[in-house]
Homo-oligomer: A and B are copies of this chain.
């Protein structure tokens, strides 16, 4: 009994990863349609979390996006090299720098937010409110269960 691998659906973890990748692909596709073909899903972490006017410190960005500052630095480096953001010295703290959107970056951030919003709205419609809310709650619960016991 139960000798062979005849799983109708893959394991949950795999399904989560695939879902992530599906949405990530939709994001790059959406951004490419809007004229930004050099943006990767990871860039959204900055665009969704940076303060549009004042800019935001790297570590604060990392905290908001729930990743390490080193990880965030890679993303910011990349965006800077593409002209979407620049690093300005923080007048209040000479250790710190503030990541600010350039004009190009402000447009991209707007498109990114709209694209993300569009994807989530589309997903909500496809799933129905009930399942969408349950999905959100479930993911919240999974992440906070063992993820970061803050």
Contacts and interface: CB of A to CB of B under 8 A. Distances in A.
A10 B17 CA distance: 16
A62 interface: no
**Can you tell how many copies of this chain the complex includes?**
2
Interface residues of A, number: 58
A12 B66 contact: no
Interface string A123-134: 100110011101
A139 B48 contact: no
Given A25-B146, A134-B134, A140 B9 contact: yes
Nearest to A138: B135
Contacts of A66: 10, 14, 18
Interface of A: 3-5, 7, 9-27, 41, 44-45, 48-53, 56, 64-66, 116, 119-120, 123, 126-127, 130-132, 134-143, 145-147
